[in-house]
């Protein structure tokens, strides 16, 4: 059986524990990944400490050249990366390419590191005094990533961290760890020094070792909210800088004047694409007014019934299986919970099997109407191909629903009314807002981050925010007294006047 090992400098000891990697389309175990421990992390940290100072001292233009080369290698390997990703995750090849592409865009941003790292300078802040600020790397950064974007999210993190002069230790999801390793191999091939980017596999044991490690000053985490909160609180208690992004339940508000054909088309992708396993998926639709709800429901049903579920390398499939058998059972249980709570199961995806792939982890597309805010199935994240309709009586209620939800990752409003859209965008208590855009993931030169239980910490991912996270600001106040030769050039501590 294929073995996925750590990607660190030096030999890694034979693992005492391993984790099975499924092929979600066939339901077969296709590989095993080694699970590491604190001793393995120590080895990776020692390697990183050896290489990081020289990398930090390498001029930013040379570091950018490595990023440029890495970008070229990813482009050249796009197809094979997408196939590997799709075989372990289950998302269809086009979605897998999108996963790589969105990470690549952060690498493109990181190619501009000489420009964004330039810092600030004030000449003449006092008599003969200049002040400047520079951003210096933190040392060794760690990233702990989820299964659902095994290419994009690691690149969000190490792309910015390494370009800024840090070494990086990545702990990817144990469910689909092969692409992160492949990315690290390509980064080395691009000219990154050996040990700059290492991949350690593991579960809670490895995560705890990272949280406790005295030589790792910063952790970036993306995953579910309880674990995000755990890592944030333990990490910050250990005086680390931590950003920890969690789960989501994004709402799509549909105003009475919205173009419903466009909305249905957008929802087909945003609610069901990637089997709903996206933190920026749109699993809740909020039609405003009964008439809007009825018209929307009528159009949604045939569109959902027309979705094609298939194996991950089926070019015609709209979406593939979910990631594990446990996750399939969990999603189906949520549908049952919604039914028990009084939701109306309009299209039922439970018990779905794909002919010829009866053991695959498929869940059929599901539509649940008459969902209300008191229901557990509304309050929690389902993370599957399930769309819930929550009917709002007016605009105010539509603003309130996502604003009061425990998660605050993304939200969208569909309308032709600019005033309603503007009002909504400014008032809603959610981090990322789309106006007639169903999945409002900001481009790489802005930044990504949800609010409330979708994001713990103060600094977003990528863009200038990513740069802030992976660097610390040094402020230098300098004065060069005239060494005039009359003995009066003794250094005086400047006082600013």
CB nearer to ligand NAD: give 161 or 279.
Answer: 279
**Integer Cα distance of 236 and 103 in angstroms:** 27
Question: Within the chain, how many helices (H) and strands (E) appear?
Answer: 16, 21
Q: Establish if 223 lies at the interface with ligand NAD (CB under 6 A).
A: yes
Q: Which residues contact 148 (CB under 8 A, 6 or more apart)?
A: 89, 274, 277, 278, 279, 323, 383
Q: Establish if 144 lies at the interface with ligand NAD (CB under 6 A).
A: yes
Least Å distance between CB 418 and ligand NAD?
A: 29
First-residue to last-residue Cα distance in the chain: 72
CB nearer to ligand NAD: give 22 or 55.
Answer: 22
Among 2, 62, 118, 204, binds ligand NAD (CB under 6 A): 204
CB nearer to ligand NAD: give 266 or 381.
Answer: 381
Q: Would you state the structure tokens that stand for residue 83, as one six-digit string?
A: 């196939």
CB nearer to ligand NAD: give 90 or 165.
Answer: 90
Among 90, 177, 246, 310, binds ligand NAD (CB under 6 A): 246
Q: What share of the chain is helix, strand, coil (3-state, %, to 5)?
A: 40, 20, 40
Q: Establish if 207 lies at the interface with ligand NAD (CB under 6 A).
A: yes
Contact range with ligand NAD by CB under 6 A, out of 66-74, 132-140, 203-211, 347-355: 203-211
Which run of H or E residues covers position 81? helix 78-89
Contact range with ligand NAD by CB under 6 A, out of 32-40, 115-123, 145-153, 353-361: 145-153
93: three-class secondary structure by DSSP: helix
Q: In terms of DSSP H, where are the helices of 290-392?
A: 290-305, 325-340, 376-379
Q: Establish if 383 lies at the interface with ligand NAD (CB under 6 A).
A: yes
Bridge-based pairing state of the strands 140-144 and 167-171: parallel
CB nearer to ligand NAD: give 224 or 464.
Answer: 224
Q: Which one from 41, 144, 227, 279 is the annotated catalytic residue?
A: 279
Q: Would you state the structure tokens that stand for residue 150, as one six-digit string?
A: 């095994």
Among 409, 415, 447, 471, binds ligand NAD (CB under 6 A): 409
Residues 156-175: x/- map of binding to ligand NAD (CB under 6 A)? ---------------x-xx-
Bridge partners, 243 (sequence order):
220
Bridge partners, 140 (sequence order):
167
Least Å distance between CB 470 and ligand NAD?
A: 17
**Integer Cα distance of 19 and 173 in angstroms:** 11
**Buried-state track 400-420, b at ≥16 Cβ within 10 A, e below 16:** bbbbebebbbbbbbbbeeeeb
Least Å distance between CB 277 and ligand NAD?
A: 7
**Integer Cα distance of 380 and 357 in angstroms:** 30
Whether residue 260 contacts residue 465, with contact meaning beta carbons closer than 8 Å, is answered with no
Q: Establish if 247 lies at the interface with ligand NAD (CB under 6 A).
A: yes
Using CB positions, name the residue nearest to ligand NAD. 223
- DSSP assignment letter at 462: S
Contact range with ligand NAD by CB under 6 A, out of 219-227, 285-293, 299-307, 364-372: 219-227
Torsion on CA atoms 486, 492, 496, 497, rounded to nearest 10: -40
Contact range with ligand NAD by CB under 6 A, out of 53-61, 217-225, 335-343, 361-369: 217-225
Least Å distance between CB 235 and ligand NAD?
A: 11
**Integer Cα distance of 377 and 120 in angstroms:** 49
**Integer Cα distance of 400 and 417 in angstroms:** 19
111 catalytic, yes or no?
no
Least Å distance between CB 18 and ligand NAD?
A: 14
Q: Establish if 248 lies at the interface with ligand NAD (CB under 6 A).
A: yes
**Integer Cα distance of 307 and 219 in angstroms:** 39
CB nearer to ligand NAD: give 388 or 454.
Answer: 454
Which run of H or E residues covers position 159? helix 152-163
Least Å distance between CB 435 and ligand NAD?
A: 20
Least Å distance between CB 251 and ligand NAD?
A: 14
Could you tell me which of 280, 309, 323 has the C-alpha nearest to residue 89?
323
Q: Establish if 245 lies at the interface with ligand NAD (CB under 6 A).
A: yes
The interface with ligand NAD within residues 269-308 (CB under 6 A) comprises: 279
Using left for φ > 0, alpha for ψ between -120 and 50, and beta otherwise, residue 261 falls in: alpha
Q: Establish if 149 lies at the interface with ligand NAD (CB under 6 A).
A: yes
Least Å distance between CB 126 and ligand NAD?
A: 44
Q: Would you state the structure tokens that stand for residue 213, as one six-digit string?
A: 């490690």
Q: Establish if 268 lies at the interface with ligand NAD (CB under 6 A).
A: no
For residue 162, what are the CA distances in angstroms to 51, 140, 183, 471? Answer: 12, 9, 13, 10
Least Å distance between CB 101 and ligand NAD?
A: 16
CB nearer to ligand NAD: give 369 or 460.
Answer: 460
Count residues binding ligand NAD (CB under 6 A): 26
**Integer Cα distance of 238 and 49 in angstroms:** 20
Contact range with ligand NAD by CB under 6 A, out of 30-38, 139-147, 313-321, 391-399: 139-147
Q: Establish if 469 lies at the interface with ligand NAD (CB under 6 A).
A: no
Among 94, 203, 212, 348, binds ligand NAD (CB under 6 A): 203
Residues that bind ligand NAD (CB under 6 A): 144-149, 171, 173-174, 203-204, 207, 222-224, 227, 245-248, 279, 381, 383, 409, 450, 454
Q: Which residues are known to be catalytic?
A: 279
């Amino acid at each position: 059986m294929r073995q996925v090992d750590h990607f660190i400098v030096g030999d890694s000891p034979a693992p005492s524990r391993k984790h099975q990697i499924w092929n979600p389309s066939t339901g077969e175990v296709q590989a095993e990944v080694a699970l590491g421990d604190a001793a393995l992390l120590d080895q990776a940290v020692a390697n990183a400490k050896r290489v990081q100072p020289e990398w930090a001292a390498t001029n930013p233009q040379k570091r950018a050249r490595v990023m440029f080369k890495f970008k070229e290698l990813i482009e050249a390997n796009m197809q094979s990366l997408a196939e590997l990703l799709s075989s372990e995750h289950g998302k269809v090849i086009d979605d897998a390419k999108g996963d790589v592409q969105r990470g690549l865009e952060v690498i493109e941003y990181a190619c501009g590191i000489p420009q964004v790292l330039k810092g600030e300078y004030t000449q003449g802040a006092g008599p003969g005094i200049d002040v400047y600020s520079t951003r210096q790397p933190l040392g060794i950064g760690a990233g702990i990533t989820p299964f659902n974007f095994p290419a994009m999210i690691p690149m969000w993190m190490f792309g910015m961290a390494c370009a800024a002069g840090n070494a990086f230790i990545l702990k990817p999801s144990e469910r689909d760890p092969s692409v992160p390793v492949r990315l690290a191999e390509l980064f080395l091939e691009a000219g990154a020094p050996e040990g700059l980017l290492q991949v350690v596999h593991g579960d809670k044991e490895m995560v705890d070792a990272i949280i406790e490690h005295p030589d790792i000053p910063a952790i970036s985490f993306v995953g579910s909210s309880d674990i995000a909160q755990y890592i944030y609180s333990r990490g910050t208690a250990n005086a680390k800088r931590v950003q920890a992004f969690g789960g989501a339940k994004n709402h799509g508000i549909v105003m009475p004047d919205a173009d419903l054909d466009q909305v249905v088309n957008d929802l087909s992708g945003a609610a069901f694409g990637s089997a709903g396993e996206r933190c920026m998926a749109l699993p809740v639709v909020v039609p405003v007014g009964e008439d809007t709800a009825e018209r929307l429901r009528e159009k949604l049903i045939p569109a959902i019934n027309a979705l094609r579920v298939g194996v991950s390398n089926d070019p015609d499939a709209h979406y593939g299986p979910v990631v594990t058998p446990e996750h399939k059972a969990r999603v189906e249980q949520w549908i049952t919970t919604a039914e028990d709570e009084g939701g109306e199961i309009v299209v039922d995806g439970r018990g779905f099997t794909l002919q010829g792939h009866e053991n695959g982890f498929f869940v059929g597309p599901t539509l649940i109407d008459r969902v209300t805010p008191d229901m557990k199935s509304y309050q929690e994240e389902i993370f599957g191909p399930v769309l819930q309709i929550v009917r709002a009586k007016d605009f105010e209620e539509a603003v309130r629903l996502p604003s009061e939800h425990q998660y605050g990752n993304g939200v969208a409003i569909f309308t032709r009314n600019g005033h309603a859209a503007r009002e909504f965008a400014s008032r809603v208590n959610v981090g990322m807002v789309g106006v007639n855009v169903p999945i409002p993931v900001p481009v790489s030169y802005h930044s990504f981050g949800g609010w409330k239980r979708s994001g713990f910490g103060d600094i977003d991912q990528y863009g200038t925010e990513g740069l802030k996270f992976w660097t610390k600001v040094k402020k230098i106040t300098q004065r060069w007294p005239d060494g005039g030769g009359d003995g009066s050039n003794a250094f005086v501590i400047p006082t600013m006047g």
